[in-house]
Structure 1
């Protein structure tokens, strides 16, 4: 059975919007600005995570975003991401830009079926609308956050549309360099 793992970068106040600054958000670009030399350890963690995963689950916009940034890359991490099965949730897309399978129809049913067919971790990068749906419908099994040392005070936050409490159990925490912190939580059912 598949395990849905949400993995994302956030600011201390939970902002996930425009980490690379290419979306035009006035506070965007926080990833490089506040990640600095700690990004080497971050990349090691992300590579390790990808190597242990069986598939990627993305929304349409994240598929486009990753396709433009990863499809031409090489190396251990890039090779794994580019070759692993991808599932893209979209009601409008026929063919994902980064390859893979489009999941159409009822998102909850489609992802429930996916969890039955994939054995191992199904990583969800970005895809915040999808992430909220996964959390809201108790489809996510684990949440992994890398927290960046900055408070933006504005911007799209990860958990702003969750309707009820979602208890979690801490399973890992570690410093990445001098400023980043990795947290992993399992959702308690």
Structure 2
């Protein structure tokens, strides 16, 4: 059975919309696209290299797939772990509107995304990775399909935009399995899903 991981760039207030550029995603009149760029450094690059080297396949939403497909096939550096992984490993695109996926190694998952991804996990081995793909990620989280979260939390507040953990997210306990900080101040936390949260109360007596 494959492990399903989610790697997400997020602001301190949880926004994941359009980290890489102004026109990446302007839904809702979002005007802060490109907020990640000032914090990109070699530490982040090394970490992402480690992430992509662990991949055996990718599960992507339509928007993220199209952004990746417009750029990464043109990167031919065989030593780049991101380009190498994306250009050679299987890519599964969850979309009800995308009729075909021309990027080599791509398959469109046109049915119910959580059901399709659950079937992939059962059928495959290794590590399937979700990158970006906020809408898809929230759907998979709601069905308890994410096994590990890698969150790159950037020291910036935006106050508006699509958030990774939106209202109504399924209550989930997480176990911290790794943490580091980049030179630019990005806090990278890795969590393993640990079932339902526990609850308690502080004794108010004495």
Q: CA 1:124/1:82 → structure 2, altered by over 3 Å: closer, same or farther?
A: same
Counterparts of 1:1-189 in structure 2 under 5 Å? 1-20=1-20, 21-23=22-24, 24=26, 25-33=30-38, 35-36=39-40, 39-75=41-77, 76-77=80-81, 78-99=83-104, 100-189=106-195
* Distance in 2, Cα, partners of 1:86 & 1:96: 9
**Structure 1 residue 165, shift from structure 2 partner:** 1.2
Q: Distance in 2 between matches of 1:14 and 1:82?
A: 29
Q: Which moved more, 1:135-144 or 1:69-78?
A: 69-78
By how many angstroms is 1:178 displaced?
A: 3.8
User: What secondary structure, in the 3-state scheme, does the structure 2 residue paired with 1:71 have?
Assistant: helix
Could you tell me how far apart the structure 2 residues matched to 1:129 and 1:161 are?
13
Q: Which runs of 5+ in 2 are unaligned?
A: 196-206
Please list the CA deviations of residues 82-127 of structure 1 after superposition, one character each: whole Å capped at 9, or x if unmatched.
1111000111222224341111212222111100122111110111
Q: Do the aligned residues in 2 keep the contact of 1:54 with 1:118 (CA within 8 Å)? A: no
Deviations 1:8-49 (A, max 9, x none): 10011111111122235312211112x05xx21111111111
Unpaired segments of 5 or more residues in structure 1? Answer: none
Greater RCO, 1 or 2 (C-alpha within 8 Å, sep 6+): 1
Aligned length: 186
Give the 4+ runs in structure 1 shifted more than 3 A: 161-164
User: Does the 8 Å CA contact 1:56/1:122 hold for their aligned counterparts?
Assistant: yes
Q: TM-score, normalised by structure 1?
A: 0.92
**Larger radius of gyration, structure 1 or 2?**
2
More strand by share: 1
Give the CA deviation at 1:161. Answer: 4.4
SS at 1:114 equivalent: helix
